[in-house]
Amino acid sequence: MHDLSKTISEYIEQQFPAVYREDGPNLVAFTKAYYEFMENTSESPTTLSRSIFQNRDIDETLDSFLVHFKEKYLSEFPYAKAVDKRFAIKHIMDYYRSKGTPQATELLIRLLFNEEATVYYPGDDILRASDSRYKIPKYLEVTQSARSAGFVENQITGSQTGATAFVEGLVKKRVQGRIIDILYISNIKGTFNTDELVSDDGLLTNAPKIIGSLSSMNVTNGGKNNAIGNIFDVVDDTGKQGKIRVTGTEDATGLRVAGYGGYLIGSDTNEFGVSGPFMLYAPHNASAYTYSNASGITYNTEGGAGYIYSMTATVGNRGAGSGRIAAEDVDAIKFLFSSGNIESGEITMFGIVNS
C-alpha cells in the first residue's frame, strides 16, 4: 500500500512563499479553507484522487465501487441480500478453485441463502456386500523352537531348497496336545519343502523344522459314486480339521493294463495290440465285492528287437487282479484304454449259468 495522505489542505501553508505567510495570512487561510471544503465529501474529485490506491482494496473501497467489483468477479452470480458483499467478492476465488468439493458446496449455500450447510454422502451409510478386504494368509508350520521369535521382521532361508521369505509375525498353536510355531510370511521366493530346516543366519543349530499342513492326497480306495467337487473330512492322529476336495476320479472297477518299458499298447508306430482272457468272479453276488483276474500277451520292440511279452502276476508293477469295491451285482462291464478308443478287435464273452 502506498503511503499517500488523503488530504491536500494540510500542505497548503508550505506551498506559499514566506512573504505571503507573513504579509498575507488571510490569503493563505482562504486557500486552505477552500481545499478543506473540497475534501469534506467522499465523492469529491480531490478525495477520490487521493484515495485511488485505497479504493482498489475490496476491504477499503467505497460502497459505490462494489458494483464494479461484482461485475468483474461475480457477473450474474446470485447471492442473498444478507450476505456481506465484500466477503463474497473477496472469497469467490476460493469457490472457483474448489468446485466439486464439500467446501465449495458449503460456501455456495452460504452465499445463496446465508445458511450453514453440511454435505452428506448416502454411500457412507450403505452396507456393501463382500466389501471387506480378502487376503489369503501364507504361513509355515514349524516345530517349536526358541529361535522362531527372532525370525520376526527378518528373512528366513530353507536349508535344502534355498527358498526365502520375510517373516511378518509368529503365532504359537496347540495341535493335538503339542505346541507348534506358525510363521506368517510374505515376499516368498522359491518353494519350501516339508522336513527342511529354516534359519535367518545360515546356522542350523536348534533351527525349527517345517512340518507343513496337508496339501494334497491320492486316494487308492475311494469307494463309489464320487464326483469332482465333493468335500471330505480327513481324520488322523497327528492333525485335525483337514478337508480334501475331489479334483478327479478314475474307474477302478476292472483291470488296468499299462504300457511298461517297450510294451506300448496302441496303433502308433512301435505300438501294438494286446490279447488275453479276462475273468470275472461271482458278478451276481450282491453281498460281496466282485473280483477279476486277467493275463495277456503283447509285442515288445524295446532295443530294436521284437519278441512276445506274456503278462503274468504284474504288469508295470501293477497287480493283474482287481476288484469292484462295492457289494453289488455286476450287470455290465466296459473295456477301455486311458486315452482314445478301441479301433478294432474281437471280444467274446462266456459265462456259467447261475443255478
DSSP state string for 81-95? TTS-HHHHHHHHHHH
Domain map (residue ranges) of the chain: 9-113, 139-199, 217-249, 250-355
Mean local confidence (pLDDT), 70-85: 74
| pLDDT over 60 at 265, yes or no | yes
pLDDT digits (tens, 9 = 90+) for 95-106: 788 888 888 888
How does pLDDT run across 102-129, given as a tens digit for each residue? 888 888 888 778 788 888 888 888 877 7
Whether the predicted pLDDT of 224 surpasses 80: no
Higher pLDDT, 208 or 22: 208
Q: In this structure, are residues 13 and 32 in contact, taking their beta carbons and an 8 Å threshold?
A: yes
CB-based contact 272:298 (threshold 8 Å): yes
Confidence of residue 254 (pLDDT cuts 50, 70, 90): very low
What does the alpha-carbon distance between residue 285 and residue 290 come to, in Å, rounded to a whole number? 7
Alpha-carbon dihedral sign for residues 242, 245, 247, 253: positive
Q: How confident is the model at residue 318 (pLDDT cuts 50, 70, 90)?
A: very low
Closest CA to 60 of 112, 6, 11, 19: 6
